[in-house]
Structure 1
Amino acid sequence: MTMDISRDTQLCMSLSGRPGNFGTRFHNHLYQALGLDYVYKAFTTTDLPAAIGGVRALGVRGCAVSMPFKEACIPLLDELKPSAARLQSVNTIVNEGGRLIAHNTDYVAVAALLQTHGVDPTGRFVLRGSGGMGRAVLAALVDHGLQGCVVARNAQAGPAVAALHGLPWQDALGDAHQAEGAWLVNVTPLGMAGAQADEQAFPDGWIARAAGVFDVVALPAETPLLRAARRLGKPVIGGDEVIVLQAVEQFVLYTGVRPSAAQIAAAAAHARAL
């Protein structure tokens, strides 16, 4: 079945430095399956204030926000819900009659995955990266009960993100013994499709000592880091799981409808079949 687009169709969109097809295919598949008069399109921009102004002025219902706009968009919005205010990072904007309301569904997704994968709440982690996604992941790790450190080369963002939770920061990976019994968490673009696709966020020597590996990179689903972790027999959590769960929460915010588990699985399979 195809759906007609009319003047009444609600537009949802995404803003990303590297637009992909997953969100577009995932959301549009669910709109069609549920008979909702919505359409979704991915965009990038070199003029963020103008893009956010367009969301407001044109009545765009919802806007997903990805790197590098998750923090930069905050001054342009009208209200931050607790999830976004606490993290000072936005991944979802909902347009409520011209008022742009910010949320963060990344946190919800990561918190759920730590539970379903049975991550030991008394354990440790080493998190590499300090961007907007890093803030959400770090908060979920700490709220789950884990303790750890932040490794980030950015000498301003790294200490600031770590300080939010009273954690230590270092600008580079140190001795591999630091990984002993810890979850290794990558929130950098290392391994992402593009120029850094072949880069492994943690070396084999670290992975061999780790309790598990969590890579938030969603595309490709199998990054060099996850391949190495599987080869070394470590449990893994992948960004392909995060992207589905956070997208579901966005879908609910935009439409007020929560799809069934079967509908979500079908939409995810459709989105991955690129």
Structure 2
Amino acid sequence: MTRSINRDTRLCMSLSGRPGNFGTRFQNFLYEALDLNYVYKAFTTRDLPAAIGGIRALGIRGCAISMPFKEACMALVDSIDESAAAIASINTIVNDDGHLRAYNTDYIAVRSLIEQHGLATDMPLALRGSGGMAKAVACAFRDAGFRHGHIVARNEATGRQLAEVSGFAWRADMADLRADLLINVTPIGMEGPEQDQLAFERDAVERARAAFDVVALPPQTPLIKLARSLGKPVITGADVIVLQAVEQFVLYTGVRPDEALIARAAAHALSF
């Protein structure tokens, strides 16, 4: 039976410079499957303070925050969870009776995946990228106990800044760098003009012990395909996007779906 929207329906939303469909499909699938009176809609905005004020004023339950708003929202909320404070960047706002509390479920997801996959903290890592998501990933590895690694970024200003925040070193390129763990947090391999490109040179992948690609679409990026073909353990962007979305769902509703239902919601959301 199709759910109907009524005056008691709770609205959750997302704010992004370029709204996508994953969150909308994932969250609404779970609302329907669990018969929860919620609905989720993606938005963008040219007036961020007014949009965040609207969340408070209209009683919108929760909001996912994507680029380019993750840092600008910090000053617009009432309190900040340690997951967001750790990296000075947010991706989730929860509204409790007009009090807006910020979280970063990207950070929470990466910390969880590090533990789930038993990644050894003595592995030297090379993380390619220096944007907002790179900060969440680098700081998650920092706080998990990793001490040896490099931020590989062509942009020296942002690369050095992230290296300083995370406690790693900065390099403009891989050159002769050897790393046991390769982490891609760039658009390389994402659907579009760079989808056939490998985020790291083949010899670097051959020498590595594991690979982690934050690109979620497609889940099988060239880096993930190559690492798997070589028998390397991998963490995919689909792992991250699903886990962080589950944590958002729990924050909004107080309900944690079982693993089978999460898998069905993920398959639905990733099928577009």
Q: Report if TM-score (shorter chain) is over 0.5.
A: yes
Counterpart in the other structure of 2:178:
179
**Per-residue deviation, 1:3:** 0.8
Q: Give secondary structure in 1 for the equivalent of 2:166.
A: coil
- Which residue does 1:33 correspond to in 2? 33
Question: Unpaired runs of 5+ in structure 1?
Answer: none
Deviations 1:176-220, CA, capped at 9 Å, x for gaps: xx234x110011222222343333221212111111110011111
Unaligned runs of 5+ in 2: none
1:268 and 2:266 matched: yes
- Give matches, 1:147-162, under 5 Å: 147-162=148-163
The answer as to whether partners of 1:89 and 1:133 remain within 8 angstroms in 2 is no
TM-score scaled by length of structure 2? 0.92
**1:118 to 2:90 alignment:** no
Match of residue 169 from structure 1: 170
1:188 to 164, 186, 189: 186
Report the equivalent of 2:64: 64
Partner amino acid for 2:158? A
Q: Which residue of 2 aligns with 1:109?
A: 109
- Which piece of structure 1 moves more, 243-252 or 95-104? 95-104
Task: Give the residue type in structure 2 aligned to 1:179.
Answer: R
Q: Following the alignment from structure 2 to structure 1, what is the Cα–Cα distance between the partners of residues 190 and 15?
A: 17
SS of the residue corresponding to residue 242 of structure 2 reads helix
Could you tell me how far apart the structure 2 residues matched to 1:78 and 1:123 are? Answer: 38
2 CA distance for matches of 1:47 and 1:194?
Answer: 29
Deviation at 1:24, TM superposition (A): 1.0
| Percent sequence identity over aligned pairs | 60
TM-score after normalising by structure 1: 0.92
1:86 offset after TM fit, Å? Answer: 1.5
Q: Which residue of 1 aligns with 2:227?
A: 229
Q: Is the 8 A contact 1:13 1:43 kept in 2?
A: yes
Residues of 1 paired with 2:56 and 2:159: CA distance?
32
State the number of aligned residues: 271
Q: Give me the whole-angstrom Cα distance separating, in 2, the residues matched to 1:203 and 1:210.
A: 11
2:41 partner letter: K
Deviating more after overlay: 50-59 vs 155-164? 50-59
Q: CA RMSD for the aligned pairs? A: 1.8
Shift of 1:31: 0.7
Say whether the 8 Å CA contact 2:131–2:158 is kept in structure 1. yes
Q: Post-superposition shift, 1:267?
A: 1.4
Q: Matched residues in 2 for 1:191 and 1:15: separation?
A: 24
Q: What per-residue deviation string (whole Å, max 9, x for no partner) do you get for residues 53-79 of structure 1?
A: 332332221111122222222222222
- Contact conserved, 1:179 with 1:207, CA < 8 A, in 2? no
Q: Which ranges of 4 or more aligned residues in structure 1 deviate by more than 3 Å?
A: none
